[in-house]
C-alpha cells in the first residue's frame, strides 16, 4: 500500500463510495419492505410470493457467501443444513406435534447441530478437499432421507399443516395469511442479514477475512484458524437452517430433493453471480436468477441454457459478480483518485491459484 | 446365489467402464487442478452422440469410432473457450463447470428430448457364465474398457505426448523451461478427459439408458473412485472404480441400492479425512 498526498482524497472518495453503496443497499431493502403493496399494483400478486421466495433463497446464498466470500472455503453442500432446517420443522410439526415457534427452533437447532458435527470434520480440509467433503456429507444425508421414507417421505416429501403463531382467545395469527407470512419472512431474513453485517464488522469477521487472505499469516498472528473456520461453518449452517425452516413454512412441506447437490450448486451460483464478499450480493444473484426462472420459463422451455451461460460468463468476465460491477462503477463515478492495482488487492486468495 | 453372481459380475463390468470415465476426471483433476462438475455430463453426451450416430447410420461400431473423436474436439473447444480464461482462478473453475453441466444437460434436453431412450446392444447373444446366462455385449464392453485403460497407460508412458503430460503435472515451470508447450498439453489433457468419458458413454449406452440426466448419477461415483484411489494416482483410480462398483454390486444383492451408495460415500469420507492421499498411496510410489 502506498501512502502519499492523495491518501486524504482517496479516503474521502472511499467514504463517498460507501455512502452511495449504502443508499443502493437501503433501496434494495426498502423494495422488499414495501413489495406486498407495490407489486400487486404494478404487476400481479403472484410476484409477492416470488419476492418471499427470493428472500429465503438469498439467505441460503448468504451462507455460501459467508464461507466462500469471507472465509475462503467453497462449500458445495449447504443444501444439507437447508434440508435439516426444513425437515426439523416438518417432522417437528407432523411427528412431534410441536407448535410454530418450537418447530422453528427445532429446525434451527438440528441444522446447527449437523453443521457442528460436519464442520468439525470438514474444516480440517481446505480447498478441493473441502468442496468435495461438503458435497459428500450432503449426498450421504440426501440418500438417507430417500431411504428413511416413513420419517421423511423420501422424494414425495412430507407435508404438514401450519400451526398458528399466536392465539388470542378466538383469533389466531398464522402464516396462512399471505401478508403475515411475507412480513414474517422479511423480518427473519432482514434480522439474519443484520446479524451477518454485525458479525462481519466484528473482530471475528475480520479474523475470517484474514484467514481468507492468507491462512498461514493469520495463524502466525495468533488467530486459531481451525476454530474460526469451524465457527464460520456453524454460522453458515445456522443461516442455511433458518432458510430451510422458512421454506418449510412457506411451502408447508419438506422433501429430500432439496438436499441434493444441485440445490447447493444453485446457492453457489446465486452467491457468485450476485457477488461474493459483499453483504447483499447474494440477494441480487438469487433475485436475478429466480426472476429469470419465473419469467423466462413461460416463454422458453430451455431457459437453463441461459442460466448456464450467465454462470460461465460471470466467472470469466466478472468474478466479483454483479455487486462487484456495481461497486466498480460507483467507485469510478464518485471514488476520486484511483490507485492502480486496488482492484487486484480485493481478489481473495482462495480465488487465486493454490500454493502447493 | 445366481443373483449375487450376476450382480457381482455386473459390478465388475460397470467398474471397468467407470474406471475409464473416472480416469478422464482424474487427469483433468490432477493436471489442470479443476474439479470438473460437468464430467458426468461428458459421459452423458457420449451416450447421446452414440444414439444419434446409431439412429442415422444404424451402425454401432461406427459410433464406437466416431464418438471419442467428437469428444476430443468438444473437449478441446470447451477447454479453449471456458477453461483457459479462468485457469488462474482455480476455485471458480468448479462454478464454471457447474454452469457447463447445466448447459450440457439443457442442450441435450432441447435437442435429444427429455424422454429416456434405449439403445439395443449390437451383440445379442448370451453365454453361460458361472451358472447363469450372461449377455455377450457386457463382456465385450468390459473388454473394450480394459483395452482402453491399458492403451491409455501405454500412451502415458510410451509416447512423447504422454511423457509431456506427466512432466507438466510433475513440475510445470521446469516443463515450460524445457520447451514443452504447456498450454497445448492442457488443451489435449482436457480433450482426452472428455474423450474418455464419451467413450465410456458409447460403451455403456446399450447397458444403461440414454437420458440427459444420467451424468448426475455417474458424477459422484467417478469422484469416489478418484478420491478413494488417490488424487493423481491414475492406477489407484482405476482400481478403486472396479472395487467400488464390485462392492456396490454385491451389497445391492442383499440390500437397497441406496444403502450401497451410502456405504461408498461413507468410505469416501473416511478416506478423505484419514488418508487424503488415497488408499493405494505408498504401494505405487
Least confident of A272-281, A344-353, B65-74, B186-195: A344-353
Least confident of A115-124, B41-50, B168-177: B168-177
Least confident of A49-58, A249-258, B1-10, B53-62: B1-10
Length of chain A measured in residues: 356
Q: Is B117 helix (H, G, I), strand (E, B) or coil?
A: strand
Q: Which comes out higher in pLDDT, residue A212 or B9?
A: A212
**Chain B residue numbers touching A262 (CB-CB < 8 A):** 216
Q: How confident is the model at residue A341 (pLDDT cuts 50, 70, 90)?
A: very low
CA distance B114 to B110: 8
**Chain A residue numbers touching B276 (CB-CB < 8 A):** 125, 129
- CA-nearest residue to A304 within chain B is B106
Q: How confident is the model at residue B32 (pLDDT cuts 50, 70, 90)?
A: confident
**Chain B residue numbers touching A272 (CB-CB < 8 A):** 92, 95
Query: What is the reported pLDDT for B275?
Result: 79
Q: How confident is the model at residue A13 (pLDDT cuts 50, 70, 90)?
A: confident
Torsional sign, CA A342, A348, A349, A352? negative
**Chain B residue numbers touching A354 (CB-CB < 8 A):** 33, 90
- Global pTM reads 0.87
Least confident of A220-229, B75-84, B128-137: B128-137
**Average pLDDT for residues B249-262, to the nearest whole number?**
83
Q: How confident is the model at residue A6 (pLDDT cuts 50, 70, 90)?
A: low
**B92, A315: Cβ pair inside 8 Å?**
yes
Q: Is A49 helix (H, G, I), strand (E, B) or coil?
A: helix
CA distance A119 to chain B (A): 12
**B272, A353: Cβ pair inside 8 Å?**
no
B32-53 residues labelled b (16+ CB within 10 A) or e (exposed): bebbbbbbbbbbbbbbbbbbbb
CA distance B92 to B80: 16
Is B98 in CB contact (< 8 Å) with chain A?
A: yes
Site from A75, A129, A139 to mutate, B interface, most B CB atoms within 10 angstroms: A139
Q: Is the pLDDT of residue B41 over 50?
A: yes
Is A150 in CB contact (< 8 Å) with chain B?
A: no
**Average pLDDT for residues A313-342, to the nearest whole number?**
80
What is the residue-averaged pLDDT of chain B? 87
Cα–Cα–Cα angle for A137, A141, A142, nearest 5°? 110
- CA-nearest residue to A308 within chain B is B99
Is A352 in CB contact (< 8 Å) with chain B?
A: yes
Q: What is the pLDDT of residues A281-309, one digit of tens each?
A: 999 999 999 999 888 888 888 889 999 99
Is A345 in CB contact (< 8 Å) with chain B?
A: no
Query: What is the reported pLDDT for A184?
Result: 93
**Chain A residue numbers touching B182 (CB-CB < 8 A):** none
CA distance A248 to chain B (A): 25
Query: What is the reported pLDDT for A344?
Result: 43
Report DSSP letters for A223-252, one per residue.
--HHHHHHHHHHHHHHHHHHHHHHHHHHHT
Q: How confident is the model at residue A7 (pLDDT cuts 50, 70, 90)?
A: low
Q: What is the pLDDT of residues A106-131, one digit of tens each?
A: 999 999 999 999 999 999 887 778 98
Q: Is the pLDDT of residue B74 over 90?
A: yes
CA distance A168 to chain B (A): 48
Site from B97, B99, B174, B222 to mutate, A interface, most A CB atoms within 10 angstroms: B99
Query: What is the reported pLDDT for B285?
Result: 38
Q: How confident is the model at residue A1 (pLDDT cuts 50, 70, 90)?
A: very low
Q: Is the pLDDT of residue B114 over 90?
A: no
**A351, B223: Cβ pair inside 8 Å?**
no
**A137, B223: Cβ pair inside 8 Å?**
no
Region of residue B130 (phi > 0: left; psi between -120 and 50: alpha; otherwise: beta): left
**Average pLDDT for residues A275-280, to the nearest whole number?**
89
Query: What is the reported pLDDT for A241?
Result: 97
Q: How confident is the model at residue A191 (pLDDT cuts 50, 70, 90)?
A: very high
B 206-235 residues with CB below 8 A of A?
216, 220, 223, 227, 231
Least confident of A244-248, B98-102, B217-221: B217-221
State the burial class of residue B111 (Cβ atoms within 10 Å of its Cβ: 0-12, 13-18, 19+): exposed
Query: What is the reported pLDDT for B84?
Result: 86
Query: What is the reported pLDDT for A97?
Result: 86
Query: What is the reported pLDDT for A356?
Result: 35
Q: How confident is the model at residue A34 (pLDDT cuts 50, 70, 90)?
A: confident
Q: Is the pLDDT of residue A30 over 70?
A: yes
In percent, the amount of chain A with pLDDT more than 90 equals 49
How crowded is residue B267: how many other Cβ atoms within 10 Å of its Cβ?
A: 18
A 276-305 residues with CB below 8 A of B?
301-302, 304-305
Q: What is the pLDDT of residues A221-256, one digit of tens each?
A: 888 999 999 999 999 999 999 999 999 999 998 999
Q: Is the pLDDT of residue B70 over 90?
A: yes
**A316, B261: Cβ pair inside 8 Å?**
no
Q: What is the ipTM of this complex?
A: 0.85
Could you list the beta-strand ranges (E) of A119-204.
158-159, 166-168, 171-173
Q: How confident is the model at residue A8 (pLDDT cuts 50, 70, 90)?
A: low
Least confident of A94-103, A169-178, A201-210, A216-225: A169-178
**A140, B266: Cβ pair inside 8 Å?**
yes
Q: Which comes out higher in pLDDT, residue B274 or B49?
A: B49
**Chain A residue numbers touching B82 (CB-CB < 8 A):** 312, 316
CA distance A133 to chain B (A): 7
- All 3 cell numbers of residue A219? 495463524
**A272, B92: Cβ pair inside 8 Å?**
yes
Instruction: Identify whether the C-beta of residue B100 lies closer than 8 Å to the C-beta of residue B74.
Output: no
Amino acid at each position: 500500500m502506498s501512502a502519499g498526498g492523495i491518501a486524504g482524497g482517496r479516503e474521502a472518495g472511499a467514504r463517498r463510495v460507501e455512502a452511495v453503496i449504502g443508499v443502493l443497499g437501503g433501496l434494495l431493502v426498502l423494495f422488499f419492505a414495501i413489495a406486498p403493496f407495490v407489486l400487486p399494483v404494478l404487476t400481479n400478486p403472484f410476484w409477492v410470493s416470488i419476492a418471499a421466495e427470493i428472500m429465503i433463497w438469498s439467505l441460503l446464498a448468504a451462507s455460501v457467501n459467508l464461507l466462500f466470500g469471507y472465509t475462503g472455503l467453497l462449500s458445495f453442500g449447504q443444501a444439507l443444513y437447508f434440508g435439516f432446517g426444513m425437515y426439523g420443522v416438518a417432522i417437528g410439526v407432523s411427528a412431534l406435534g410441536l407448535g410454530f415457534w418450537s418447530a422453528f427452533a427445532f429446525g434451527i437447532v438440528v441444522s446447527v447441530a449437523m453443521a457442528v458435527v460436519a464442520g468439525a470434520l470438514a474444516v480440517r480440509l481446505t480447498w478441493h478437499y473441502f468442496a468435495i467433503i461438503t458435497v459428500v456429507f450432503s449426498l450421504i444425508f440426501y440418500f438417507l432421507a430417500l431411504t428413511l421414507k416413513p420419517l421423511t417421505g423420501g422424494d414425495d416429501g412430507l407435508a404438514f399443516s401450519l400451526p398458528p403463531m399466536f392465539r388470542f382467545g378466538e383469533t389466531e395469527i398464522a402464516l396462512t395469511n399471505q401478508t403475515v407470512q411475507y412480513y414474517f419472512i422479511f423480518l427473519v431474513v432482514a434480522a439474519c442479514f443484520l446479524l451477518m453485517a454485525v458479525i462481519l464488522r466484528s473482530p471475528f469477521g475480520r479474523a475470517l477475512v484474514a484467514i481468507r487472505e492468507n491462512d498461514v499469516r493469520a495463524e502466525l498472528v495468533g488467530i486459531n484458524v481451525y476454530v474460526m473456520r469451524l465457527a464460520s461453518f456453524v454460522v453458515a449452517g445456522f443461516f442455511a437452517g433458518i432458510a430451510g425452516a422458512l421454506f418449510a413454512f412457506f411451502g408447508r412441506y419438506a422433501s429430500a430433493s432439496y438436499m441434493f447437490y444441485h440445490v447447493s450448486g444453485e446457492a453457489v451460483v446465486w452467491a457468485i453471480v450476485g457477488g461474493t464478499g459483499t453483504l447483499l450480493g447474494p440477494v441480487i444473484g438469487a433475485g436475478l436468477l429466480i426472476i429469470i426462472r419465473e419469467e423466462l420459463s413461460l416463454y422458453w422451455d430451455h431457459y437453463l441454457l441461459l442460466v448456464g451461460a450467465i454462470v460461465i460468463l460471470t466467472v470469466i468476465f466478472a468474478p466479483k459478480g454483479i455487486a462487484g460491477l456495481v461497486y466498480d462503477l460507483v467507485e469510478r463515478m464518485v471514488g476520486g483518485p484511483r490507485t492502480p492495482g486496488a482492484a487486484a488487492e480485493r481478489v481473495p486468495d482462495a480465488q487465486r491459484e493454490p500454493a502447493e | 446365489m445366481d443373483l449375487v453372481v450376476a450382480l457381482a459380475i455386473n459390478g465388475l463390468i460397470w467398474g471397468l467402464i467407470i474406471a475409464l470415465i473416472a480416469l478422464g476426471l482424474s487427469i483433468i483433476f490432477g493436471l489442470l487442478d479443476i474439479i470438473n462438475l460437468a464430467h458426468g455430463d461428458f459421459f452423458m453426451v457420449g451416450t447421446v452422440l452414440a444414439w444419434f450416430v446409431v439412429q442415422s447410420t444404424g451402425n454401432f461400431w461406427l459410433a464406437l469410432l466416431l464418438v471419442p473423436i467428437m469428444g476430443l474436439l468438444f473437449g478441446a473447444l470447451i477447454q479453449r473457450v471456458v477453461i483457459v480464461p479462468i485457469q488462474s482462478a482455480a476455485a471458480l473453475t468448479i462454478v464454471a463447470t457447474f454452469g457447463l453441466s447445466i448447459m450440457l444437460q439443457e442442450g441435450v434436453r432441447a435437442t435429444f428430448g427429455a424422454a429416456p431412450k434405449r439403445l439395443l446392444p449390437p451383440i445379442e447373444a448370451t453365454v453361460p457364465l458361472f451358472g447363469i446366462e450372461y449377455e455377450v455385449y457386457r463382456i465385450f464392453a468390459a473388454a473394450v474398457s480394459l483395452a482402453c485403460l491399458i492403451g491409455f497407460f501405454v500412451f502415458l508412458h510410451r509416447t512423447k505426448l504422454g511423457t509431456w503430460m506427466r512432466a507438466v503435472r510433475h513440475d510445470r515451470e521446469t516443463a515450460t523451461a524445457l520447451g514443452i508447450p504447456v498450454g497445448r498439453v492442457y488443451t489435449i489433457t482436457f480433450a482426452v478427459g472428455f474423450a474418455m468419458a464419451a467413450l465410456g458413454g458409447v460403451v455403456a449406452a446399450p447397458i444403461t439408458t440414454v437420458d440427459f440426466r444420467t451424468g448426475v448419477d455417474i458424477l459422484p461415483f467417478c469422484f469416489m473412485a478418484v478420491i478413494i484411489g488417490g488424487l493423481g494416482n491414475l492406477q489407484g483410480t482405476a482400481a478403486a472404480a472396479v472395487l467400488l462398483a464390485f462392492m456396490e454390486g454385491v451389497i445391492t444383492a442383499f440390500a437397497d441400492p441406496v444403502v450401497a451408495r451410502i456405504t461408498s460415500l461413507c468410505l469416501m469420507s473416511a478416506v478423505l479425512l484419514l488418508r487424503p492421499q488415497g488408499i493405494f498411496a505408498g504401494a505405487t510410489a
